[in-house]
């Protein structure tokens, strides 16, 4: 049996399911599991490795070599704003393009670990230009990129002018390091809250439905959102308007928001890096959200979905619980409707 076959199996429709149900981070529950929690935090794959460490490295290099000096950012000027916009565009094309080219253009691993046996739509009137990838690129570069850059420009300008609480790494290294560790977890909590908000029917119909056109998402689907959703999604960086932080925290936070959706919507459970080795992308949980809509609004780091009854681990039992919950809700809604 191949490694891909051992990791999961396909049903009659060609949809892939992991061999074991997914699970949340072992940080919660009773009794405590300190050994499992430490292994999850430091292990490979885990909270730090390989993805969050990779995003930290990119943020550090960006902050050191590709970000204007704080003194220059005290005044709004086209020059330094253009630098930030240009480097954000280049990084977005590099990150999203790398995922897309490897998995969907070169098809380096074929359908191995792919959640469905389908490829992005190429003649579907649901999408702009009738092509899913072109539609996704349009919303990513045309809306996500300028809104990401806008949040970054305003926040760095405010820090440079002392309008926001600012700390230097040399003065408070422990606090700064802890904040870097917390940012991915805060991002997931904020994402859950925003995500539940935009599933409110009026906002879903007018805003979030654009993203959910991607029933079978690919990397470029990650930030294919309505501009209102982009404003809400990137607003997680407003954390640094309240907590003392550094410009590096701002860059890392926004890059995490910008880059993780490519990974989270890659459409593959694992990224093959060698003939016999593959790295987990950790996105099956969110794929289930795109498939079923009413489950998995958050992530597996802070298990809010488990606490709120919207958790789906990919098992048949979870599908049964979801269907039962939806039936109860439908019955309640029907009971509220006035009889003719």
Helix 247-264 to helix 145-160 angle (10° resolution) is 160
| Mean pLDDT, all residues of the chain | 93
Distance CA 251, CA 205 (A): 32
Using CA atoms, how far residue 74 sits from 80, 81, 157, 244, in Å, is 10, 11, 6, 18
pLDDT band at 9 (very low <50, low <70, confident <90, very high): confident
Of 26-30, 253-257, 313-317, least confident by mean pLDDT is 26-30
The percent of residues above 90 in pLDDT, for the chain, comes to 79
pLDDT tens, 163-212?
Answer: 999 999 999 999 999 999 999 999 999 999 999 999 999 999 999 999 99
- Residue 43 confidence (pLDDT): 93
- What's 144's DSSP letter? I
pLDDT tens, 207-241?
Answer: 999 999 999 999 999 999 999 999 999 999 999 99
Structure tokens at 296: 């998995």
On the question of pLDDT at 1 being above 60, the answer is no
pLDDT tens, 65-81?
Answer: 999 999 999 999 999 99
Using CA atoms, how far residue 208 sits from 59, 120, 156, in Å, is 29, 20, 29
Distance CA 52, CA 55 (A): 5
pLDDT tens, 116-161?
Answer: 999 999 999 999 999 999 999 999 999 999 999 999 999 999 999 9
Alpha-carbon 12 to chain mean position: 29
Using CA atoms, how far residue 77 sits from 65, 81, 161, in Å, is 19, 6, 14
For the residues 29-52, what does the mean pLDDT come to? 92
Domain ranges in the chain are 60-310
- Residue 2 confidence (pLDDT): 62
On the question of pLDDT at 325 being above 90, the answer is no
């Amino acid at each position: 049996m191949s490694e891909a076959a051992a990791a999961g199996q396909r049903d009659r429709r060609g949809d892939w399911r992991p061999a074991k149900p997914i699970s949340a981070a072992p940080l919660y529950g009773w009794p405590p599991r300190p050994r499992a929690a430490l292994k999850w935090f430091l292990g490979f794959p885990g909270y730090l490795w390989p993805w969050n460490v990779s995003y930290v490295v990119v943020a550090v290099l960006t902050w050191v070599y590709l970000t204007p000096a704080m003194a220059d950012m005290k005044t709004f000027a086209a020059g330094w704003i253009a630098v930030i916009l240009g480097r954000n565009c280049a990084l977005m094309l590099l990150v999203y393009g790398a995922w897309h080219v490897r998995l969907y253009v070169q098809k380096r691993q074929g359908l191995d670990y792919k959640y469905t046996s389908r490829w992005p739509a190429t003649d579907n009137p649901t999408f702009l230009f009738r092509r899913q990838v072109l539609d996704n690129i349009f919303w990513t570069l045309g809306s996500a990129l300028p809104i990401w850059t806008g949040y970054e420009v305003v926040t760095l300008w405010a820090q440079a002018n002392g309008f926001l609480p600012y700390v230097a790494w040399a003065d408070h290294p422990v606090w700064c390091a802890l904040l870097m560790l917390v940012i991915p977890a805060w991002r997931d909590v904020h994402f859950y809250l925003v995500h539940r908000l935009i599933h409110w029917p009026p906002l879903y119909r007018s805003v979030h439905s654009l993203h959910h056109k991607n029933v079978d998402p690919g990397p470029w689907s990650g930030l294919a959102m309505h501009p209102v959703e982009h404003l809400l999604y990137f607003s997680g960086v407003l954390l640094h308007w309240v907590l003392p932080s550094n410009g590096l925290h701002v860059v890392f936070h926004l890059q995490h928001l910008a880059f993780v959706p490519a990974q989270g919507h890659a459409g593959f459970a694992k990224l093959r890096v060698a003939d016999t080795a593959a790295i987990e992308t950790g996105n099956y949980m969110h794929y289930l959200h795109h498939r079923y809509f009413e489950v998995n609004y958050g992530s597996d780091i802070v298990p809010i979905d488990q606490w709120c009854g919207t958790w789906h681990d990919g098992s048949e039992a979870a599908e049964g619980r979801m269907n039962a919950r939806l039936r109860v809700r439908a019955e309640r809604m029907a009971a509220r409707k006035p009889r003719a």
